[in-house]
Amino acid sequence: MIRGRWPRLGVPLLLAFLALIDLRTELQLLWDHFTWTSLSYLPASHPLALAVLLLLPSLLRRYR
């Protein structure tokens, strides 16, 4: 089994990468045309991706 720092950090970084890919379209829309409505739509349409990004610091500390 591979041991070391990078394999353990790979899990939270992979989750963050996948969350950003999921939010890519919404973030592009926000960047081009920001409205409060589109900002409020983001958590309702992508709750898991938002939760992963909000909990990323905790995940990084846990897998360190």
Instruction: Give the per-residue pLDDT at 31.
Output: 93
| Count of structural domains, the chain | 1
Side chain identity, residue 35: T
Instruction: Give the per-residue pLDDT at 64.
Output: 79
Helix (H, G, I), strand (E, B) or coil at 4: coil
Per-residue pLDDT of the chain (64 residues; tens, 9 = 90+): 456 656 678 889 999 999 999 999 999 989 999 999 988 999 999 999 999 999 999 999 988 7
Q: Hey, what are 31's tokens?
A: 């960047």
Query: DSSP characters for 3-61?
Result: -SHHHHHHHHHHHHHHHHHHHHHHHHHHHHS--HHHHHHHHHH-HHHHHHHHTHHHHHH
Domain that holds residue 36: 5-62
